Structure 1
């Protein structure tokens, strides 16, 4: 019945190389040499009578047949791993990609709630400001992305659209007398594809020449650094209502308004990206259901 199937070892080698897009990284994961990986792939290709990879100088790319086999092997080995974990009582691992600020200011502070509801799942968080190609990077199960949301983009779901406001520590505001003397803290995005959100946007266009304060502006390349600076009493932060929610709830930060400035301006959107091959994964489903619920509760 299974006489035409290649060896399990060659399929395992192929799955690692396809997922990591690298023979060398696959060799490191499997504790063998890159030559051994290359030999296993070549034997598999000869047995199938087709090329699975296009070899390039420093990378490999899957062919159409390679993509087809990769989808199958990835799902099969993941199902095997999940079954073994269920049998022996081991925890499943879920790898999430998101921004550094969302991870540190919202996800990590709330993650214990997910663990209490799902004791059989561990979460690994990978952060970065540039979008990861989660559709093809099999090391990532799902992404919480940030930016302008396009509902026509496939395999995405809107989580929440933030507002940007001004926040400061009560101690800083107790000493505050004049906006011209303030230190205003804002983010200069590492990801240049994001539209800039600055304190200057708080002032209506026709009033900027006459009413622009002479306050000192201090910029950070991470929004959570802006919030940490505000928590340390270093100034007034222009920050996401989502990311400061815990700090405001604990009254470590309080909203700042007045002086002719609006309370809030429109921000950007957090949205989920779940590749098709992970949409029925029980760990992914459990996390996404918890995330939507927790976001909505935090807004109420």
Structure 2
């Protein structure tokens, strides 16, 4: 047995390998070689006198002892990261994981309101489409996810279910002599598990067959790219009413309606994922309460 605790560097290597379930991915995250990770893990196991991983061909799986150690290292690094950030910045840092579109089109434009109400809390965003296991990642305090909401998933709560509408610049609409000449903009999800929200879906739901050859449909793999294309006057965007809230307020975009297409359709859901260890964390509770109130107001 260890006469003293393993070094912080060894524990950090174990923590990365355990969370990523891969020595190779851990080496990439830590900027060391896979061999170095393997040697440190082996030394740690020999020092503890137990196996922490089951080695498999292309992955590793934690043993019971590995799970126990990961629970501890996750808590340690989470608290250490929070404390160091607070010392350096003088503020408590809250790390939020969310999608690129929600971060750029809704959260960032509204964050100043949060800062004015809570100047002692700094929000750090990790935006992207890769689904992070926030239940294991010690650096993520809260995740805002997008998709189909399952109320049976642990640690989740619904934020808002969006409406999908049609939006363009007034100048683009004024220039349309025939609506069937319009360029239609839509999102083709990077995440293929998400149900498609496409113009043909809208036409079908509203009882129209609009696969007319004069229609041009352009696709982007990020919803905020669709909105940016609409802002640039490139067509009519089929996007979330939540994400265009700021553009509508500033009158950069306006809703589009026609005799064939009316109103909005229901889209997908934004929901929160809160790790159990953060459910009583004051800054997480403060941010969550602000977020719920702010987004419900914007959805009215």
Q: Normalised by the shorter chain, which TM-score bucket?
A: 0.7 to 0.9
Kindly tell me: are residues 267 and 47 of structure 1, through their superposed partners in 2, closer, same or farther at Cα, counting changes over 3 Å? Answer: same
1:69-113 C-alpha deviation (Å, 9 max, x unpaired)? 211222134334444555666344333322221121111211222
Report the equivalent of 2:5.
Answer: 6
The Cα shift of 1:225 comes to 1.2
SS in 2 for 1:268: strand
Superposed CA RMSD: 3.1
**Structure-2 change in CA distance of 1:47 and 1:252 (3 Å):** same
Looking at structure 2, the residues matched to 95 and 21 of structure 1 have their Cα atoms a distance apart, in angstroms, of: 22
1:1-300 equivalence runs, <5 A: 6-7=5-6, 9=8, 10-19=10-19, 21=21, 38=38, 40-56=40-56, 59-83=59-83, 86=86, 90-204=90-204, 207-209=207-209, 214-300=214-300
Cα deviation 1:95-132 (Å, max 9, x = unaligned):
33222211211112112223333334433333333433
Q: Does structure 1 conserve the Cα–Cα contact (< 8 Å) formed by 2:78 and 2:138?
A: no
Deviation at 1:261, TM superposition (A): 0.7
Is the Cα contact below 8 Å between 1:19 and 1:138 reproduced in 2?
Answer: no
**Paired residue secondary structure (1:208):** coil
Q: Secondary structure at the match of 2:208?
A: helix
* 1:196-249 Cα distance to aligned partner (Å, 9 max, x none): 11222333569434x665432222221111111111111111111111111011
Specify whether residues 187 and 48 from structure 1 end up closer, same or farther in structure 2 by C-alpha distance, changes over 3 A only: same
Flag structure 1 segments of 5+ consecutive residues without an equivalent.
none
**TM-score, normalised on structure 2?**
0.83
Question: TM-score when scaled to structure 1?
Answer: 0.83
Compare 266-275 and 108-117 and name the one that shifted more.
108-117
CA distance in 1, matches of 2:190, 2:250: 29
